[in-house]
């Protein structure tokens, strides 16, 4: 393996370890108390590496959410393809996928739920702030 490929592989491994640590730590500490330090310690990496890969806690949460979402969609596609054109098998396989060990994990579900609430809340606050500024300006 070339050194460029090795670096890319190391980066991918570090990302996966950090994402997995984020999911585990969030279920223990909650979204507000979760720190980049918790994540780096959980992954067995230095805090500098977390900051290098994700820059901020919000970015780390977004990337983790993307990871969970991609993992779900990839698995969903695989189960759906197995069903062929039969709608009965399609819906049965959807159920199999949704309650498979890989997808149906309390930590991942909690992460998705809390992140969506938090991110939507931030968007709402942002929209509210924009509206307030607009009112003040006009």
Partner 1 sequence: MTEDIFSELIKREKNNLSKKSLSIAFQSLIMGLWLNQLDEPTKFSKSESKKICIDYLKTHFPKQFSRYS
Place of tokens 């991918």: 12
By the rule CB under 8 A, 91 interacts with partner 1: yes
Q: Judged by CB under 8 A, which stretch of 4-12, 14-22, 98-106, 121-129 contacts partner 1?
A: 98-106
Q: Judged by CB under 8 A, which stretch of 31-39, 64-72, 107-115, 123-131 contacts partner 1?
A: 107-115
Find all residues with CB under 8 Å of 34, minimum gap 6, and list them.
Answer: 22, 25, 26, 57
Q: Is the dihedral of CA 65, 105, 113, 25 positive or negative?
A: negative
Alpha-carbon distance of 53 to 48, in angstroms, equals: 9
Q: For partner 1, give the closer residue by CB, 62 or 94.
A: 94
- For binding to partner 1 (CB under 8 A), which residues are involved? 87-88, 90-92, 94-96, 98-101, 104, 106, 109-110, 113
């Amino acid at each position: 393996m070339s050194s460029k490929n090795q670096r890319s592989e190391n980066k991918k491994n570090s990302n996966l370890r950090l994402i997995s640590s984020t999911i585990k730590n969030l279920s223990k500490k909650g979204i507000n108390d979760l720190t980049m330090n918790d994540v780096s310690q959980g992954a067995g990496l230095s805090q500098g590496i977390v900051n290098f890969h994700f820059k901020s806690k919000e970015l780390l949460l977004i990337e983790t959410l993307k990871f969970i979402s991609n993992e779900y969609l990839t698995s969903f596609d695989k189960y759906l393809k197995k069903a062929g054109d039969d709608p009965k098998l399609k819906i049965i396989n959807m159920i199999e996928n949704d309650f498979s060990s890989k997808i149906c994990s309390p930590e991942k579900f909690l992460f998705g739920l809390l992140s969506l609430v938090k991110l939507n809340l931030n968007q709402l606050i942002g929209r509210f702030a924009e509206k307030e500024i607009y009112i003040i300006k006009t």
